């Protein structure tokens, strides 16, 4: 197979990144990449631990003169979000991610790139295999299942991880050092389905709300991007009020932590009402296009005839479904009063499925204030009680609170200024990082999260800046040199 990135610098970083793109590593499918990292460590004669959940921990002694310096933990995650364009034929279980160099950017032909968080793993590997880089004792921690609830770090044995300082490489904007992040939980709502038989002379159609941009449900939740699931709810309520509909199936979204960009519903209408349906579709395409002219300019609604629909949701189930779609929180819920422009709490309805006898809503609830996270969940619980649904919370992870005194943050600010003659920015992020769990697992360690410029993560438009990757890697190496 031809190497696409072989001419890029730093050579070892991009070599490692390309190797990672050739290994299927969607969340829950990390065995191959975990074994690859173990093999890498052994090839470089480094101590390695692969734990029961496939997290990989690699240790490298400090170089001469740094043997007794405070240990540094370099951390990232090996799994990726697997999302592709609707018309792109690709199997994340076996196909190689199709890399494309486009000026200063690395892109793909229609899938997520996996720079979140493969570029961190590639940088860590390059540092571990470097022969001429002065550094303190290093522990590389590469976790699994970060994208689907942080199960890897949740099951980590902290005794295997040594160090007083931790550098997380899972942020996506160069020159911004993150010092705090939101906590979160997966909120799963189950609405039981009561089924009914189709009665009368009715025609079935599949309605699709599509053309949306989607995006990362933490980092991009403040961009006013539409949710295909919420738009479908509005449209189904309109249809039910205007022409009367039955509903036989509904599904939307792909990942809990991605803003849903497509939703489909199979509806039935009485014979003779097709023109009304088409007119309402045209009306709402215009309405949604006006509302989201900037954030989602290509939003649309399509219609396709369906045959052999024999059962539908009962009247009670249909009404409860529409009510939940209308009232389930989505988007920014509160803004921080302490950090200007920071989303404090939010909810993203990431996946909607019709499963056997249940309609399942899976949401990502985030907040940097635990009580506000609880408040959102309590609102959802109240909605469930009114609609006959149930709610379950899974994969709860803690927030990472800002630390006033941080030697690693101070060092990074100095190094960045010295190298680039620019002031770096200290910030917080409305997304889940593993830092909160790591503080619980490893102890009161000094932490910062950094990363190169990565754009449109969790979407098929994800792309990585080549020049920013080079700058960030050189900066990280210099920070290690000065961590004596």
Q: What is the pLDDT of residue 405?
A: 92
User: Going by CATH, does the domain composed of 11-182+399-481 fall within 3.40.630.10?
Assistant: yes
**Dihedral sign (CA 317, 319, 322, 327):** negative
**Residue 432 reports pLDDT greater than 80:** no
Residue 339 pLDDT more than 80? no
pLDDT at 227: 97
Asked whether this chain's domains 11-182+399-481 and 185-397 adopt the same fold, the reply is no
Ramachandran sector of residue 27 (left: φ over 0; alpha: ψ -120 to 50; beta: rest): beta
Asked if 136 and 70 touch (Cβ cutoff 8 Å), the reply is: yes
pLDDT for res 398 = 87
Give 406-425 pLDDT, tens digit per residue. Answer: 999 999 999 999 999 999 99
Spatial distance between the Cα atoms of 149 and 25, rounded to a whole number of angstroms:
16
The active-site residue, picked from 18, 30, 79, 461, is: 79
Helix/strand/coil for 307: coil
Q: Can 79 be counted among the known catalytic residues?
A: yes
Q: Which two tokens stand for residue 287?
A: 């309405």
pLDDT, averaged across the chain = 95
Average pLDDT for 372-392: 97
Q: What is the pLDDT of residue 401?
A: 82
**Cα within 13 Å of Cα(463), Cβ side:** 15
pLDDT digits (tens, 9 = 90+) for 250-263: 999 988 889 999 99
Band (180; pLDDT cuts 50, 70, 90): confident
Structure tokens given for 318: 């249909």
Nearest-angstrom CA–CA distance, 401 and 181: 7
Task: Quote the pLDDT of residue 440.
Answer: 87
Of these residues, 18, 30, 116, 146, which one is catalytic? 146
The answer to whether residue 146 is catalytic is yes
Coil, strand or helix: which one is 394?
strand
Domain spans, the chain: 11-182+399-481, 185-397
- The matching CATH number, chosen from 1.20.910.10, 3.30.70.360, 3.30.420.80, 3.40.50.261, for 185-397 is 3.30.70.360
């Amino acid at each position: 197979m031809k190497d696409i990135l072989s001419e890029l610098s730093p050579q070892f970083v991009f070599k490692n990144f390309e190797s990672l793109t050739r290994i299927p590593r969607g969340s829950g499918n990390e065995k191959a990449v975990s074994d690859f990292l173990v093999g890498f460590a052994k090839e470089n004669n480094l101590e390695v631990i692969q734990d029961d959940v496939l997290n990989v921990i690699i240790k490298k002694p400090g170089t001469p003169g740094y043997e007794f310096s405070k240990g540094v933990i370099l951390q990232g995650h090996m799994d990726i979000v697997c999302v592709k364009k609707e018309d792109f034929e690709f199997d994340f279980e076996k196909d190689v991610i199709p890399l494309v160099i486009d000026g200063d950017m690395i892109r793909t032909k229609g899938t997520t790139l996996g720079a979140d968080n493969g570029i961190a793993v590639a940088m860590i590997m390059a540092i571990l295999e470097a022969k001429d880089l002065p550094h303190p004792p290093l522990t590389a921690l590469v976790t699994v299942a970060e994208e689907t609830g942080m199960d890897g770090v949740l099951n980590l044995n902290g005794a295997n991880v040594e160090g007083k300082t931790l550098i997380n490489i899972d942020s996506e904007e160069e020159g911004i050092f993150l010092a705090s992040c939101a906590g979160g939980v997966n909120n799963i709502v189950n609405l039981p389905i009561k089924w009914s038989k189709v009665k009368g002379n009715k025609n079935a159609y599949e309605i699709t709300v599509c053309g949306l941009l989607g995006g990362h449900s933490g980092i991009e939740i403040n961009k006013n991007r539409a949710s295909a699931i919420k738009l479908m709810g509005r449209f189904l309520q309109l249809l039910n009020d205007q022409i009367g509909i039955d509903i036989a199936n509904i599904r939307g979204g792909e990942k809990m932590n991605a803003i849903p960009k497509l939703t489909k519903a199979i509806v039935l209408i009485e014979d003779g009402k097709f023109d009304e349906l088409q007119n309402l579709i045209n009306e709402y395409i215009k309405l949604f296009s006006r509302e989201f002219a900037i954030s989602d300019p290509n939003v649309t609604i399509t219609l396709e005839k369906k045959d052999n629909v024999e059962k539908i949701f009962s009247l009670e189930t249909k009404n409860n479904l529409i009510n939940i779609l209308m009232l389930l929180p989505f988007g920014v819920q509160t803004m921080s009063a302490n950090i200007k422009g920071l989303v404090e709490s939010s909810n993203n309805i990431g996946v909607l499925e019709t499963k056997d006898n249940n309609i399942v809503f899976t949401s990502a609830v985030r907040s940097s204030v635990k009580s506000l996270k609880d408040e959102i969940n309590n609102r959802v619980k109240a909605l469930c009680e009114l609609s006959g649904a149930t709610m379950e919370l899974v994969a709860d992870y803690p927030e990472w609170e800002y630390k006033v005194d941080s030697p690693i943050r101070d060092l990074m600010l100095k190094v960045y200024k010295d190298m680039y003659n620019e002031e770096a920015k200290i910030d917080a992020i409305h997304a889940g990082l593993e830092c909160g769990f790591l503080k619980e697992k490893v102890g009161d360690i000094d932490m910062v999260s950094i990363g190169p410029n990565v754009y449109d993560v969790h979407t098929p438009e994800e792309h990585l800046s080549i020049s920013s990757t080079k700058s960030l890697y050189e900066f990280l190496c210099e920070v290690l040199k000065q961590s004596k």
